[in-house]
Structure 1
Amino acid sequence: MKNLNSEFSVEQLVGEELEQLEQHFAEQTHPDELEQFDRASLKELVAEHETPFMVLDLEEVEYQYLALQAALPGVKLFYAVKSLSHPSLIKRLKNLGSQFDLATTGEVELVKGLGVQGEKCIHTHPIKKDKDIKAALEFGCHRFVVDNPAEVLKFIPYKDHVELLVRVSFRSQDAVVDLSRKFGCALEELPGLVNLAIENDLTVSGLSFHVGSQSLSPMAQVNAIKASVHAMNEMTHVHWKWLDIGGSFPVSYQGPVTPIEDFCAPLMDALKELPEDIEVFAEPGRFISAPAMIEVMSIMGKAKRGARIWYYLDDGVYGALSGQMFDHAKYPISPLKPVDPMGDFYPSVLAGPTCDSVDVVDEDIELPELQVGDIMVARQMGAYTIASATEFNYYPKPKVVVVEDLMDHTDDN
Structure 2
Amino acid sequence: MVRLELPSAGKFIDHLISNRLQELDKDPYSTQSDRPFFIADTSQALKLYNRWKRALPNISPFYAVKCNSDVRFLRFLAELGLGFDCASQTEIELVLSLGVDPSRIIFAHPCKAVSAIRIASARGITLTTFDNIDELDKIKAHAPGMQLLLRIYAQDDTAAAQLGNKFGAPMSTVEPLLQRAKQLGLCVRGVSFHVGSGARNPAAFTTAVYQARHVFDLASHLHLPPMDILDVGGGFQDSNFEEMALPLSRAIDEAFPDPASVRLIAEPGRYFARSLYTMACKVTSRRRQLHLQQSPDDNLPCSYPSLTPDMLYLNDGVYGSFMLAVCENEIFVPDPVPRRVAAEDTFEPRAEGAHLYSLWGPTCDGIDCMAAEVTMEGEVRVGDWLVFRDMGGELLPDSLGALISVAAELTNMGYLGLIAYSVVSATRFNGFSNDYDVIYASDYLASATGVEGASETAKGAYKYLEWLLPGSIRGLWR
Which TM bucket (shorter chain)? Answer: 0.7 to 0.9
Contact 1:327 / 1:384 at 8 angstroms: preserved in 2? no
Matches for 1:195-214 after TM superposition, within 5 Å: 195-214=179-198
Q: d(CA) in 1 for partners of 2:389 and 2:332?
A: 6
Measured after TM superposition, the shift of residue 37 of structure 1 is: 5.2
1:181 to partner: Cα distance:
1.3
> What is the TM-score when the length of structure 2 is the normalising length?
0.72
Higher helix proportion, which one? 2
For the 8 Å contact 2:280–2:385, the answer to whether it is kept is: yes
CA distance in 2: counterparts of 1:399 and 1:35, whole angstroms: 19
Is 2:150 the counterpart of 1:166?
yes
Instruction: Tell me how far apart the structure 2 counterparts of residues 128 and 48 of structure 1 sit (CA, whole Å).
Output: 47
Q: Are 2:237 and 1:250 aligned? A: yes
Q: By how many angstroms is 1:343 displaced?
A: 4.2
Match of 1:16 in 2: none
Which residue of structure 1 lines up, in the alignment, with residue 17 of structure 2?
42
Q: Distance in 2 between matches of 1:152 and 1:267?
A: 29
1:262 to partner: Cα distance: 4.0
Distance in structure 1 (CA, Å) of the matches to 2:370 and 2:214: 45
- Note the 1:134-153 alignment, pairs <5 A: 134-153=118-137
Read off the aligned partner of 1:359 and give its amino acid letter: D
2:389 aligned to 376, 379, 384, which one? 379
Which stretch shows the higher mean deviation, 91-100 or 297-306?
297-306
Report if aligned partners of 1:319, 1:386 keep a CA contact under 8 Å in 2. no
Distance apart, 1:48 and its partner CA = 4.4
Task: Report 1:307-322 matches (<5 A).
Answer: 307=306, 308-322=309-323
Q: How does 1:2-401 map to 2 (within 5 A)?
A: 38-48=13-23, 50=33, 51-158=35-142, 160-236=144-220, 237-238=223-224, 239-252=226-239, 258=240, 260-272=241-253, 273-274=255-256, 275=258, 276-306=260-290, 307=306, 308-337=309-338, 343-367=352-376, 368-387=378-397, 389-397=426-434, 398-401=436-439
8 Å contact kept, 1:302–1:372? yes
Per-residue deviation, 1:160: 4.0
Cα distance change, pair 40–140 in 1 and its aligned pair in 2 (3 A): same
SS in 2 for 1:58: coil
Query: Offset of 1:366 from its aligned partner?
Result: 2.4
Structure 1 counterpart of 2:54, one-letter code: A
Q: For 2:201 and 2:352, locate their aligned partners in 1 and report how far apart those are by CA, in whole Å.
A: 37
5+ residue gaps, structure 2:
1-8, 25-32, 291-305, 341-350, 398-424, 443-459, 469-478
Whether the aligned pair in 1 keeps the contact of 2:114 and 2:142 (CA below 8 Å) is no
Report which stretch shifted further, 151-160 or 89-98. Answer: 151-160
Letter in 1 for 2:369: V
Give the total of aligned pairs. 369
Structure 1 residues 37 and 117: CA distance shift in structure 2, 3 A: closer
Structure 1 residue matching 2:246: 3-state secondary structure: helix
One-letter code of the match for 1:391? R
Write the distance in 2 (CA, Å) between the matches of 1:35 and 1:199. Answer: 57
CA 1:35–1:338: 2 relative to 1, 3 Å = farther
Cα distance in 2 for residues equivalent to 1:170 and 1:39? 41
What is the CA-CA distance between 1:350 and the residue it aligns to?
1.2
Q: SS state of the match for residue 155, structure 1?
A: helix
Q: Which moved more, 1:237-246 or 1:50-59?
A: 50-59
Amino acid at match of 1:208: S
Greater mean deviation of Cα atoms: 392-401 or 113-122? 392-401
Q: 5+ residue gaps in structure 1?
A: 1-33, 253-257
Cα displacement (A) at 1:386: 3.1
Counterpart of 1:10 in structure 2 is none
Quote the RMSD (CA, aligned, Å): 2.5
Which residue identity is paired with 1:355?
A: C
Which one-letter code corresponds to 1:185 in the other structure?
A
Partners of 1:251 and 1:332 lie apart in 2 by 18
* Correspondence for 1:21: none
Secondary structure of 2:76's aligned partner: helix
Separation (CA, whole Å) in 1 of partners of 2:315 and 2:252: 47
Instruction: Normalising by structure 1, report the TM-score.
Output: 0.83
Pick aligned residue for 1:402 from 432, 440, 446: 440
Query: Amino acid of the residue matched to residue 355 of structure 2?
Result: Y
How much identity, in percent, do the aligned residues show? 29
Give the 3 Å change call, closer, same or farther, for CA 353–407 of structure 1 in structure 2: farther
Distance 1:48 1:289, change over 3 A: farther
CA distance in 1, matches of 2:339, 2:243: 34
> What is aligned with 1:255?
none
What SS is found at the alignment partner of 2:288? strand
Q: Which has the larger radius of gyration?
A: 2
